[in-house]
Amino acid sequence: MVAPSWRDPRLLVGVLLVTGSVVLGSVVVGQARDTTTVWGLAHAVGAGQRLTSADLTVVEVRLDATTAARYVPTDTPADAALGERAVALRGLGAGELLPRASVGRADDLSARPVTVPVEGAVPPGLVVGSLVDVWVVPARDAGTLAGSTDGAQAAPAPEQLVASAEVASVVTGGGALATRSGADVQVVVPQDALPAVLQAVTADDDLVLVPVPGSAPGGGA
């Protein structure tokens, strides 16, 4: 049996394949180690809420240069990166990378947070960052009902005031010193809908928050 010569094409092809595999493996390993550190959210923050260094955490990710430029890098301290009186311009979920476009000042907001009292149990899926439709059920006029022969016609019809309003905070009641059960839910309301929502909050009307299915962070109901 004749030993293969270094001039044998099969030997040369084999050497090239091995060399190529080694080079390709080195490139893949090098790219896997090429990561970027950016600021991410340590917990959920609602739209309009103040942003401080306590809300942020360092996240190491693999991003190309174009994508990385969209997020706030860790090359400066969190307080310096945020600046003074920074707020979230939209709801930010826990673990989410901090986009530059989602950090601004209060006067950059096109909507305003309004606190809506919710009686009883908080609906599932009503969490910071989720979306709700805001409905009002006008208070019944006792005098009208007393003189009406048809109670169904006298019942006021519910009216939708805001569609897909973002939940900025949820403060649940309860406890020995609590005056009521339920929760105070802060929703972000467009300025053109503010008069109707504020009127309903200050009147005896019932405000109802209806969660938008699938809008909760993580895809919950």
- Rounded to the nearest 5°, which phi and psi values hold at 191? -60, -30
> Is residue 165 domain-shared with residue 130, that is, in the same domain?
yes
> Is residue 190 domain-shared with residue 127, that is, in the same domain?
yes
Please report whether residue 11 resides in a domain. Answer: no
Please report whether residue 13 resides in a domain. Answer: no
Structural domain for 91, as ranges: 36-107
Last residue of a domain, one of 107, 131, 156: 107
Number of domains in the chain: 2
pLDDT tens for residues 90-134? Answer: 888 889 999 999 999 988 888 888 999 888 888 888 888 899 999
pLDDT, mean of residues 74-88: 89
Q: What is the CATH number of the domain that holds 95?
A: 3.90.1210
> Is residue 55 domain-shared with residue 117, that is, in the same domain?
no
Q: What is the pTM of this model?
A: 0.66
Last residue of a domain, one of 74, 90, 107: 107
Helix, strand counts (H, E) of the chain: 6, 9
Lowest mean pLDDT among 9-13, 79-83, 119-123: 9-13
> Is residue 103 domain-shared with residue 114, that is, in the same domain?
no
pLDDT, mean of residues 152-180: 76
> Is residue 87 domain-shared with residue 128, that is, in the same domain?
no
Q: Judging by beta carbons within 10 Å of its beta carbon (0-12, 13-18, 19+), is residue 19 exposed, middle or buried?
A: exposed
pLDDT tens for residues 181-209? Answer: 688 999 999 999 999 999 998 887 888 99
